[in-house]
């Protein structure tokens, strides 16, 4: 088996009147994230990492923000599509590692539930999903509490 890696990054600004969804879990917070889908920045970074590992275009290609039929889509559906594309190429997702970057809210108490949701969407075990969180040390747009970013790495076995 040969192994391939991909990286993903995503960022969304906070928005009033929306739920905050991270890793497929609604997190209690006074604001959500702006976006065409549920704006789950963590799932988006993971999906892009998986797509990169198999040489496919990013999620904007598969789920364009101009497509009104997918407005508000759960980002778990985006992860399911990424996993389907991996399987279609004869591959399997080996593991995911990810980091959320946010000043608020504190999210690590939700990590086990997020891991379970992400793993179920990808068809892997929860212990194959790493989730970490950090702040931006009060610097930049994240430090000003204007949004959240996420980074992810995916390892995919092919053949």
Model confidence pLDDT, tens digit, residues 24-81: 999 999 999 999 999 999 999 999 999 999 999 999 999 999 999 999 999 999 999 9
Render the burial of 112-137: b for 16+ CB within 10 Å, e for the rest: ebbbbbbbebbebebebbebebeebe
Report the distance separating Cα 8 and Cα 48, nearest Å.
5
Question: 110 is in which domain, residue-wise?
Answer: 2-158
What's the pLDDT score for residue 48?
98
The answer on pLDDT for 6 being more than 90 is: yes
81-126: per-residue pLDDT in tens? 999 999 999 999 999 999 999 999 999 999 999 999 999 999 999 9
pLDDT (0 to 100) of residue 151 = 98
Domain count, the chain: 1
User: What does the pLDDT read at residue 58?
Assistant: 95
- Say which CATH number the domain at 95 has: 3.30.1330.50
Confidence label for 1 from pLDDT (cuts 50, 70 and 90): confident
pTM, two decimals, is 0.97
Which residue spans within 16-89 are E strands per DSSP?
Answer: 20-22, 25-27, 32-33
Which pLDDT score is estimated for 9?
98
């Amino acid at each position: 088996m040969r192994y391939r890696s991909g990286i993903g990054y995503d960022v969304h600004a906070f928005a009033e009147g929306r739920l905050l969804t991270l890793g497929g879990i609604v997190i209690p917070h006074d604001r959500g994230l702006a976006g065409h889908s549920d704006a789950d920045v963590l799932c988006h970074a993971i999906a892009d990492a998986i797509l990169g590992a198999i040489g496919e275009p990013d999620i904007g290609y598969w789920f364009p923000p101009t497509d009104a039929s997918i407005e508000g889509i759960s980002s778990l559906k985006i992860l399911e599509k990424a996993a389907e594309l991996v399987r279609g190429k004869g591959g399997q997702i080996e593991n995911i590692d990810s980091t959320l970057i946010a000043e608020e809210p504190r999210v690590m108490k939700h990590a086990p539930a997020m891991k379970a949701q992400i793993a179920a969407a990808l068809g892997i075990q929860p212990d194959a999903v790493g989730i970490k969180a950090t702040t931006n040390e009060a610097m930049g747009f994240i430090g000003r509490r204007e949004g959240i970013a996420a980074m992810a790495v995916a390892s995919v076995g092919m053949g």
